[in-house]
């Protein structure tokens, strides 16, 4: 059993790494221009090049993939010669940023106004910064004979300045997209990598992806969890009843009902429920509207219609698979033998038929757990539900690559984890495949 579990976990890890490369490649190759999405169609080539450089989008794909996986802070710390860390820049806005950390614990960044004099910006306890001019000895000559300086710029990126360079950089400030002199020549966007739980910073919102992703994931898990708790007992029980009463009126009613439920698209059943319960009866809200500071947990009535929409679709799938599996098991030789022996019918069903009949539904259930979490974009869009599906849709429309990649990896982790759970349940229900 231990060897079986170890093999499955090893396969899970390999799958995650392979899929991460596929996700990264698809995100990078997807059509769209991130700079235009952020800055608009009127940007100049110089502005686009500056934007791409500041976000590391001009670097080779392999470098960006490794930075996404294992981070870049360790590389930048070696170049800068000081440890780097995120500190809270604004408690009111819940905003953090990367800073270099001095030996006495003082966070600092760098700036140059003319490409000759470097300024160190020491952050004070009250949030203000004190400018400290640095001497010419801070410049280091690289292998090409060029004087360079590595530091953390005011945007929280590792940056390389070139001495004597009057290069200007386009920077997004409170006043808009403006040009600043004495700009760095190269940048390394800082992040710890997904292996250390850092999904990066959204290019669109300028906030850590996790700050937006995690609440959306919690909302989706909550919605999917309620639907799952409702669907599975009802669907399994109804499927077993239909399978045990093959050809009888109750079987026909359940089969037709499940067929109608599965053949109706989510948007159609959702609109139908909105018309009845929100428009005509006015019992439940037809859209999930959450003012600032209000979570989905504060308005449970807003979950009723989305949960019912999910339940109608999934109920039919699981019911039909359970019925078919139960019918097949009840026609096997060992069940017929048990009946001929005169064993009580309840005992035959509960002790012999039920366990084997649940094997096929378990597979469907685990596959549809992934759908409940990541594939309910239509339901979330229809009801305006702030979940993971809407998060992925919004990120894809703006090509926010860090948000897309983070959300996709979360879905992959959920998918492979549920598959591992399904394998373990299979082992419990059918010992014959325990060590295969």
Q: What is the pLDDT of residues 159-176, one digit of tens each?
A: 999 887 766 677 665 556
Note the pLDDT tens digit of each residue in 266-280.
788 888 888 888 888
Domain annotation covers residue 121: yes
- Shared domain for 139 and 238, answered yes or no, is no
Task: For the chain, give the mean pLDDT.
Answer: 82
Note down the domain range covering 404. Answer: 209-433
Residue 110 CA to residue 421 CA, distance in Å, equals 50
How many residues appear in the chain?
436
- Shared domain for 77 and 118, answered yes or no, is yes
CA angle 434, 435, 436 (to 5 degrees): 100
Q: Averaging pLDDT over each range in 104-108, 178-182, 288-292, 398-402, which range is the top one?
A: 104-108
Q: Averaging pLDDT over each range in 132-136, 261-265, 372-376, which range is the top one?
A: 132-136
Name the least confident of 159-168, 234-243, 367-376.
Answer: 367-376
Q: What pLDDT score was predicted for residue 123?
A: 92
Cβ 181 vs Cβ 114: under 8 Å: yes
**Taking residues 48-70, what's their average pLDDT?**
87
Note the pLDDT tens digit of each residue in 329-346.
888 888 888 878 877 878
Domain end point (choices 157, 172, 196): 196
- Shared domain for 146 and 223, answered yes or no, is no
- Shared domain for 130 and 172, answered yes or no, is yes
Token output for 290: 């959450």
* Predicted confidence band of residue 431 (pLDDT cuts 50, 70, 90): low
Residue 421 CA to residue 231 CA, distance in Å, equals 19
Token output for 238: 């109804």
**φ, ψ (nearest 5 deg) of residue 172:** -85, 110
**Taking residues 379-399, what's their average pLDDT?**
83
Domain annotation covers residue 40: no
Domain end point (choices 175, 196, 217): 196
For the cut 80, the answer to whether the pLDDT of residue 184 exceeds it is yes
Domain annotation covers residue 2: no
Token output for 371: 């759908």
Q: What pLDDT score was predicted for residue 357?
A: 80
* Predicted confidence band of residue 108 (pLDDT cuts 50, 70, 90): very high
Token output for 388: 């993971």
Q: What pLDDT score was predicted for residue 13?
A: 86
Number of structural domains, the chain? 2
Note the pLDDT tens digit of each residue in 126-155.
888 899 898 888 899 888 888 899 999 888
**Taking residues 253-270, what's their average pLDDT?**
83
Q: Indicate which CATH number applies to the domain containing 373.
A: 1.10.3720.10
Residue 383 CA to residue 380 CA, distance in Å, equals 5
- Shared domain for 172 and 220, answered yes or no, is no
Residue 66 CA to residue 112 CA, distance in Å, equals 30
The overall pTM is greater than 0.75: yes
What lies within 8 Å, CB to CB, of 320 at 6+ separation is 239, 255, 258, 259, 262
Domain annotation covers residue 70: yes
- Shared domain for 255 and 140, answered yes or no, is no
Note the pLDDT tens digit of each residue in 287-316.
776 666 666 666 777 788 888 888 887 788
């Amino acid at each position: 059993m231990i060897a079986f579990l170890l093999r499955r976990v090893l396969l899970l890890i390999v799958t995650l790494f392979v899929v991460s490369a596929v996700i990264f490649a698809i995100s990078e190759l997807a059509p769209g221009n991130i700079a235009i999405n952020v800055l608009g169609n009127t940007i100049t080539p110089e502005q686009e090049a500056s934007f791409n450089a500041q976000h590391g989008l001009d670097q080779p794909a392999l470098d960006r993939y490794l930075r996404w996986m294992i981070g870049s802070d360790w590389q930048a710390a070696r170049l800068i010669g000081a440890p780097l860390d995120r500190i809270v820049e604004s408690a009111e806005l819940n905003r953090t940023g990367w800073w270099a950390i001095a030996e006495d614990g003082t966070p600092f960044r760098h700036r140059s106004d003319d490409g000759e004099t470097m300024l160190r910006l020491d952050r004070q306890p009250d949030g203000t910064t004190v400018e400290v001019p640095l001497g010419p000895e801070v410049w280091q000559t690289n292998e090409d004979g060029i004087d360079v300086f590595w530091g953390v710029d005011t945007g929280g990126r590792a940056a390389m300045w070139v001495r004597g360079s009057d290069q200007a950089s386009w920077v997004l400030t409170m006043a808009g997209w403006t040009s600043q002199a004495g700009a760095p020549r190269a940048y390394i966007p800082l992040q710890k990598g997904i292996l250390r739980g850092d999904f990066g910073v959204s290019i669109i919102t300028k906030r850590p992806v996790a700050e937006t992703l995690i609440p959306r994931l919690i909302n989706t898990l909550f919605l999917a969890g309620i639907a799952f708790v409702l669907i599975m007992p009802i669907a399994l029980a109804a499927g077993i009843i239909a399978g045990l009463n093959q050809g009888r009126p109750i079987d026909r009613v359940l089969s037709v009902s499940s067929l109608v439920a599965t053949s109706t698209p989510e948007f159609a059943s959702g609109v139908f429920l909105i018309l009845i319960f929100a428009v005509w009866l006015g019992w439940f809200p037809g859209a999930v509207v959450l003012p600032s500071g209000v979570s989905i947990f504060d308005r449970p009535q807003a979950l009723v219609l989305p949960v019912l929409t999910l339940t109608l679709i999934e109920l039919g799938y699981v019911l039909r698979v359970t019925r078919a599996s139960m019918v097949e098991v009840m026609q096997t030789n060992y069940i017929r033998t048990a009946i001929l022996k005169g064993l009580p019918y309840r005992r035959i069903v509960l002790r012999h038929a039920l366990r084997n009949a649940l094997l096929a539904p378990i597979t469907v259930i685990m596959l549809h757990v992934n759908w409940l979490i990541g594939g309910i974009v239509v339901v979330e869009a229809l009801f305006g539900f702030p979940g993971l599906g809407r998060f992925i849709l919004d990120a894809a429309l703006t090509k926010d690559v860090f948000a897309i990649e983070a959300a996709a990896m979360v879905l992959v982790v959920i998918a492979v984890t549920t598959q591992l759970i399904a394998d373990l349940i299979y082992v419990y229900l059918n010992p014959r495949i325990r060590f295969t």
